[in-house]
Structure 1
Amino acid sequence: MRPIPRSQEPELRGAGMTDAADALPGQSLSRLTSGEQVRLYLRRLIFDGVLRQGQRVPQDAVARALGVSRIPVREALIALEREGWITIIAHRGAFVNALDESSVRDHYELYGLFYGFGARRAVERQGAELGARLAVLQKEIAAAGDPEALQELTARFHGLVVEAAQSPRLRNMLKQMTGIIPGNVFELVPGVQAVEKRGTAAIVRAMKKADAQAAEREYVTMLRNQGDLCVKLFRGRGMFEQPDAEAAPASP
């Protein structure tokens, strides 16, 4: 992502985004800290096209929409800058970064590499027994139709793989990664449910054979395919469009 700030500010009220519940379908904000609420809210505004690349984040409007002070808004902006979503410019404000296709693909490619590494280590350390345990959970994944249930089941599946890998370094790396989709990916990205079900089934088959390299490849393939679907969705939403030619770049 690269910063292309400009001074245009969206009107959240006109976009119908003044209610936090409207911004976050399927999410329970009560379980999040104020800063986390703001961070997820802003990511959803970007995802829905209310905040577009180059636009200034209207901090006061966001604070009013969520009923919080400016402090959690600033905390969220710092976190979002660290994640690459925005750029903070001293004395000017926070601006939405340009989202490019390669950034989205790289994100899912890295997820695939990390989880693939975890799958390989898990098979090397647990053998085919892990595949047998995951097979029970994978049957539930295959039968799940509700996005919320599928999200919970797949989180358990991937969590078991990471746990079996017995790699504290891997767990720390994954904790540092933040999803691109602001909410339930199975609800928001068409086609991801099918990709996840096929992918987890293939991973289990490889693990049952104690084939560590095949399990790693299947993870990479599954997450790469999910990245392709996200790119398709973002392109359709116009999220890769460049700002107007007359937009002024940020001053250093």
Structure 2
Amino acid sequence: MRQIPRSQEPELRGAAATDGADGLPGQNLSRLTSGEQVRLYLRRLIFDGVLRQGQRVPQDAVARALGVSRIPVREALIALEREGWITIIAHRGAFVNALDASSVHDHYELYGLFYGFAVRRAVERQGAELGERLAPLQKELAAAGDPEALQELSARFHRLIVEAAQSPRLRNMLKQMTGIVPGNFFELVPGVQAVEKRGTAAIVRAVRKADAQTAEREYVAMLRAQGDLVVELFRGRGMFERPDAEAAPASP
């Protein structure tokens, strides 16, 4: 995929094809298919306000901007509809869905439930020894000031817990979830670095005591607090507002 020719596609100006997974384990862009990269790019357009709620997705313009055929664009739209970002209306096009605070809160509540379950299972199966493995990583995370380093350390922390849970079913379910903030989570969301550092420290303290229930509660609390910050960010960016003139036609 080539760089976006901004002069040729003014309607897409201001977007960047980058991705993150809210500080949680994600995929490497270099390993993604064209359709997956288009999906991430479209999510960034929505995040940057280039595509607003109710607007039709300009499929031909996206294909030209990224130097791909319409096939990966259609693949991306199907995936985004499954994720709830857009609605495809036959013979009319794809339209950006309304995003509300409740859906963002639900996203992080689900993350909390999944990762809370993971840490509970991990402690039940590995005991306090897991805390000794997590502690050095959490210490590095606490000292990190660079968002790139923090994102990498955070992903390693969460991945270690998921691996320690030894639950293929859980791993498969987590693969179905995608980050709601495209880009570096710790760079884009004000206040989230402090939440991550406090939360992971509390999780490690509980794990070192082999206290699975407290570790689970701390995970849920950390991700709920992160969700609150993302809601605040999205509200400030006007992402919960639908321009009346651009409202999508109602589904039949």
TM-score, L = length of structure 1:
0.90
Q: Secondary structure at the match of 1:249?
A: coil
Judged with a 3 Å threshold, the aligned counterparts in structure 2 of structure 1 residues 144 and 236 are, in CA distance, closer, same or farther, namely: same
Structure 2, unpaired ranges of 5+: 1-7, 21-27
Identity fraction in percent: 86
CA contact (8 A) 2:55 2:246 kept: no
Q: 1:1-252 alignment to 2 at 5 Å?
A: 12-14=9-11, 16-17=13-14, 23-24=16-17, 30-244=30-244, 247=247, 249-252=249-252
Q: Secondary structure at the match of 1:98?
A: coil
Q: How many residues align?
A: 238
Judged with a 3 Å threshold, the aligned counterparts in structure 2 of structure 1 residues 33 and 15 are, in CA distance, closer, same or farther, namely: closer
Deviations 1:4-51 (A, max 9, x none): xxxxxxx9515524xxxx513588854432111110110000001110
Judged with a 3 Å threshold, the aligned counterparts in structure 2 of structure 1 residues 107 and 60 are, in CA distance, closer, same or farther, namely: same
CA contact (8 A) 1:63 1:70 kept: yes
CA contact (8 A) 2:35 2:73 kept: yes
Deviations 1:146-182 (A, max 9, x none): 1111111111111110111111111111111111011
What is the distance in 1 between the residues matched to 2:59 and 2:126?
49
What is the distance in 1 between the residues matched to 2:161 and 2:246?
49
Structure 1, unpaired ranges of 5+: 1-10
Judged with a 3 Å threshold, the aligned counterparts in structure 2 of structure 1 residues 56 and 245 are, in CA distance, closer, same or farther, namely: closer
Deviations 1:39-89 (A, max 9, x none): 011000000111001000000100111011101000000000010000001
Judged with a 3 Å threshold, the aligned counterparts in structure 2 of structure 1 residues 251 and 26 are, in CA distance, closer, same or farther, namely: closer
What is the distance in 2 between the residues matched to 1:24 and 1:183?
8
Q: CA deviation at 1:196?
A: 0.5
CA contact (8 A) 1:196 1:222 kept: yes
Judged with a 3 Å threshold, the aligned counterparts in structure 2 of structure 1 residues 202 and 54 are, in CA distance, closer, same or farther, namely: same
The residue aligned with 1:7 is: none
TM-score, L = length of structure 2:
0.90
Amino acid in the other structure paired with 2:97: N
Amino acid in the other structure paired with 2:58: P
Amino acid in the other structure paired with 1:24: A
